[in-house]
Amino acid sequence: MQMREANQADSNSLVYSLPDLVCFAHLHWDFVWQRPQHLLSRFAQHGRVYYVEDAFYHADDLVEPHMEVKERQNGVKVLVVHLPQYLRADEVAADQAQFVVLTRFFTENSLQQYVFWYYTPMALGKSRLFSPVLTVYDCMDELAQFKFAPPELRQREQELFGKADLVFTGGQRIYESKREQHHDAHAFPSSIDKQHFGQARNPLLAEPADQAGIAHPRIGFFGVIDERLDIDLLGQLATSHPEWQFVIIGPVVKIDRATLPHNANIHYLGGKDYQELPAYLRGWDVATLLFARNESTEFISPTKTPEYLAAGCPVVSTSIRDVVRPYGDLNLVQIADDHQEFGRAIAIALEQGKDADWRTRTDRYLATIS
């Protein structure tokens, strides 16, 4: 951080000038509102923030590499490098083209002192030749264990550990996995916008039209629907409990929609804007974390756990490590894995919503993290 005089006549009047922050991410800014958007939109209240997405490849070979700039919340500028189709087959050349476009953008916009903030090690290909004043790796997921992960991702992560001045992890479980790999690693679990999700406790909040006609009890889930969702568990629960209605909100990615269970009591409502979520949660009787127990979920730390609780929803989760500790251990969330246990846990949670002591303990805990 630099300090400069704001007024030559008043040497005691100082303004703090922060370096620009350039974030490299594998997630599209407009896809799902989560940790990067929460942090960077707040950082942007104090300085210039640039969010570099993966390159966009055109269908033809004639387009010249160029930068698209989109302005988002609090002035965050989303940067997308556009490339010709032929570069898709040559990663080294594509990275070099992106480096050239980024260099030109930095020069044109006077980015001279800047922090690099990484969510994906794969971005090193286009950024390793820059000289940031500080490099931060915010490791929110074990990306190497996700479906379709690039085979070189683990090697790139080791390179990023060598460059990073500071490493954060999105939860305790992944911190335990990474802490020996960097001298300055810190567990930095995501907090939540408690006021935003607390809107779901307002009895006057209007019911969304596509949910209004669904009967109760409603058992809900929101999030990305991918290889982490236990679709077998969802199908078994819906079959075993036709008296419950399962409301599933979120985009389907990386898996075939045809593999999803389509019982009459499962309702896929699609992706929703972050601002809409409290209205949906308001109408749920129980919220769930229907995560499969596989390598893609071994290190996750679901932010939706405290978001559900802030909305006033009783919660049932599979035994994800960062949900069991602390939420399961504190008896704030019911933990179960197979469909019979999960069904019993939902039955308990349906009653838990009426428990004033549970709500008091939940709110007391949420006050410590948000």
* Whether residues 157 and 244 fall in one domain: no
Instruction: Quickly list DSSP for 230-252.
Output: -HHHHHHHHHH-TTSEEEEES-B
Tokens 């922050």 identify what position?
21
Q: Determine the pLDDT at residue 88.
A: 96
Q: Determine the pLDDT at residue 315.
A: 99
* Whether residues 180 and 207 fall in one domain: no
Q: Determine the pLDDT at residue 73.
A: 87
Which stretches of the chain drop beneath a pLDDT of 70?
A: 1-17
Q: Are 307 and 222 a contacting pair, CB within 8 Å?
A: no
**Listed residues 149, 168, 187: the one ending a domain:** 187
Q: Return the beta strands (E) in the chain as ranges.
A: 2-5, 14-17, 20-24, 49-52, 56-57, 66-71, 77-83, 114-118, 134-139, 166-169, 185-187, 218-222, 245-249, 266-270, 286-289, 315-317, 334-335
* Whether residues 170 and 204 fall in one domain: no
Q: Determine the pLDDT at residue 17.
A: 66
What is the rounded distance in angstroms from the CA atom of residue 209 to the CA atom of residue 280? 10
Alpha helix stretches (DSSP H) within 144-276: 153-163, 172-178, 194-198, 209-212, 231-240
* Whether residues 141 and 220 fall in one domain: no
Q: Are 298 and 178 a contacting pair, CB within 8 Å?
A: no
Q: Do strands 66-71 and 77-83 pair parallel, antiparallel, or not at all (unpaired)? A: antiparallel
Tokens 């500028």 identify what position?
77
N-terminal to C-terminal alpha carbon distance within the chain: 26
Count the residues in the chain: 370
Q: Determine the pLDDT at residue 236.
A: 99
Q: Determine the pLDDT at residue 148.
A: 86
* Whether residues 168 and 312 fall in one domain: no
pTM (2 d.p.) = 0.88
Q: Is the peptide bond before 326 cis (omega within 30 degrees of 0)?
A: yes
Q: Determine the pLDDT at residue 13.
A: 40
Q: What are phi and psi of 323, to 5 degrees?
A: -95, -45
Tokens 């008896």 identify what position?
331
* Whether residues 210 and 138 fall in one domain: no
The CATH number covering residue 70 comes to: 3.40.50.11010
CA of residue 181 relative to chain centroid, distance: 23
**Listed residues 162, 187, 212: the one ending a domain:** 187
Domain count of the chain? Answer: 2
* Whether residues 323 and 355 fall in one domain: yes
The CATH number covering residue 339 comes to: 3.40.50.2000
Q: What are phi and psi of 74, to 5 degrees?
A: 60, 25
What is the rounded distance in angstroms from the CA atom of residue 281 to the CA atom of residue 309? 10
Q: Which domain holds residue 356?
A: 195-366
* Whether residues 138 and 204 fall in one domain: no
Q: Are 281 and 287 a contacting pair, CB within 8 Å?
A: yes
Q: Please report how many Cα atoms fall inside a 13 Å half-sphere around the Cα of residue 78, on the Cβ side.
A: 21
Tokens 């390598």 identify what position?
295
* Whether residues 235 and 291 fall in one domain: yes
What is the rounded distance in angstroms from the CA atom of residue 173 to the CA atom of residue 251? 26
| Cα torsion through 192, 196, 201, 206, rounded to 10 | -140
**Listed residues 187, 215, 236: the one ending a domain:** 187
* Whether residues 207 and 171 fall in one domain: no
Per-residue pLDDT of 67-76, as tens digits, reads: 999 999 889 9
* Whether residues 181 and 225 fall in one domain: no
Q: Determine the pLDDT at residue 160.
A: 98
Amino acid 67 reads M
Q: Determine the pLDDT at residue 18.
A: 82
Q: Do strands 2-5 and 66-71 pair parallel, antiparallel, or not at all (unpaired)? A: unpaired
Instruction: Quickly list DSSP for 13-50.
Output: -EEEEPPEEEEE-SS-TTT---HHHHHHHHHTTTS-EE
* Whether residues 158 and 216 fall in one domain: no
Q: Determine the pLDDT at residue 247.
A: 99
